[in-house]
Copies of this chain bind each other. A is one copy, B any other.
Amino acid sequence: MRDLSADHGLEHLSLNTATVRKQGDFLEILEAAKRHGISCVSPWRDQVQAVGVERAAKALRDGGFRLSGYCRGGMFAADAMHRAAERDDNRRAVDEAAALGAPCLVLVVGGLPQFSRPGSVASHDIAGARKQVEEGIAALLDHANAAGVALAIEPLHPMYAADRACVNTLRQALDICDRLDADGARRLGLAVDVYHVWWDPEVFAQIARAGERIHAFHVCDWLVPTRDMLLDRGMMGDGVIEIGKLRAAVEATGFSGPCEVEILSEAWWSRPIDEVLSTMIERYRTVC
């Protein structure tokens, strides 16, 4: 396990740009990251699009940034009327990831079709949505392979099963990987976010099972109480997740990518960007 307290150059830290999404546009976030010595980021698609993919790519190059991923593709469940748009949209997400130099596209797979692709006919058939998700990933895999972008399925916490992602455990995500890419040659894998998986009694067994399939590792913390199901995630150390134990397990698989901080939080979005980044760096060194 790497000793992050000694990572003076922040070599193993990545900033997911959603963590400070309200404090500035993508270019301003890169400037702030630079000020704090952060050289690896994981951009969100809407933030990139707001400044334009080419400008974003140039700013990343000019700033000497590495990428740990691109957030996000997915939202596969859709009715027949919205299927073609879903396929196009996901291929574009892969192309953008490639243009930016991201090693992987994180997939938030979507829940029921009416929430995943709004306007779709409403359904309560979660098994059907899961089938569509797997078909959507299968359909995207060739394009991703051709572009040199790995696909990283991110299992989301079960509280998002209806509306954001009906892949809710590492076991379920790995079963999909096994079915679509048995030998790993197509680089279908996972994004492991401690927020989504810490509660799972099988989390350590499934991380070990994942082996080389882990493409990304995300951290934040679970607050008690959690006042909002989406936007009340905690800074590392402010909640109950045993982040270090989970990172040790992930690194024991051979994972050598960065520890990516992704905090969706109205509370942190309301603070100055420099305060958020310096707190994040301190916690990265002392808590993760």
Contact = CB atoms under 8 A, between A and B. Distances in A.
Interface of A: 112, 115, 124-126, 130, 157-159, 161-163, 166, 168-169, 171-172, 198-201, 222, 224-226, 229, 239-242
Contact of A199 (B161, B198, B229, B242): B161
Main SS class of interface, A: loop
A125 B242 contact: yes
B242 A124 contact: yes
Given A124-B241, A171-B201, 15 more contacts: A112-B240, A126-B199, A126-B242, A157-B159, A158-B158, A159-B226, A159-B229, A161-B199, A162-B239, A162-B240, A163-B224, A168-B199, A168-B200, A225-B229, A226-B229
A166 B158 CA distance: 14
Number of copies: 2
B225 A163 contact: yes
A146 to B, nearest CB: 30
Contacts of A163: 224-225
A163 B199 CA distance: 11
A177 to B, nearest CB: 14
A230 to B, nearest CB: 9
A172 B162 CA distance: 22
Contacts of A124: 240-242
